[in-house]
Amino acid sequence: MIPLRISPVILLSENKVIKTKQFKFDRYIGDPINSIKIFNQKNVDELIILDKSAINKNMINFQLLKDMVDEFTRPISYGGNISNIEDAFKLINLGIEKLIIGRNSFDYDFISKLINLFGSQSVSVCLDIVNVNNEYFLFDYKNNLVKNENLQKHIKVLINLGIGEIVINSVNHDGMMMGYDTELLSKFKELNCELIALGGMGSLDHIVEVINNTNIKAFAIGSYFLYLTKLKSVLLQYLSLEDREYIIKKINNGHNYV
């Protein structure tokens, strides 16, 4: 039985839940505590919290995270300005199960220390990737900068360090609800590492498309779980049993997902 991991994403900015489109155009969604209570009631598999303000201000809001963790009974991953061991310990002690490293993913010594301290299963990396003229590059959100780094080499180094999983976050598809960038995701199908697709989910068929064309079976989802329809009336929701059954029936690779 192969587990199908589906994780809502709560994006924070200035202590509010927001949603972006292509990393811009922040839209207010709601209160963080109310939002996490709703997802807890809906029995989500796990939850991802990403904090833009922590990146912009170089400061993690530990009190807000503690309040959120206290309202949630399932695993939480957190990303946002994790840049030193002291903060990493604070997050783990708060109850954060997995640390998501973003802009500091090139600090291989830091990544290695985190893995040695907490284990590979507790350390993840989120790579923000942008398509420019049909080429893929890493994107530095804070400095609004396209980085001319060797993406494949970077990922291989992270895997050799023992990273637990890698979130592939498409900047171009963020908030568009037009489907995942399967061309991007398929570039990593041979990697020996757990991958999570983020950016573009707008229908159940978009999940099916990724599963049928890549080895990815984990998905982080923002807009689809925040809006009632593509008209984008705010309504927090999660997959129903019928939704899962639909996905499983549409998978064509013969695996038995749960």
Tell me which residues are annotated as active site: 128
The count of residues in the chain is: 258
Strand 123-132 and strand 165-170: the pairing is parallel
Q: Please name the residues in contact with 150: beta carbons below 8 A apart, sequence gap of 6 or more.
A: none
Dihedral, 192, 193, 194, 196 alpha carbons, nearest 10 = -110
Rounded Cα distance between 171 and 198, Å, is 9
10: left (phi over 0), alpha (psi -120 to 50) or beta: beta
SS3 call for 173:
coil
Nearest partner of 107 among 39, 35, 157, 145, judged by Cα: 157
C-alpha dist (Å) from residue 181 to 109, 169, 190, 192, 199: 31, 9, 17, 20, 8
Alpha helices in the chain (DSSP H): 32-41, 52-57, 62-70, 85-94, 108-118, 151-161, 182-186, 204-213, 223-226, 241-250
Q: Which two tokens stand for residue 78?
A: 């957190």
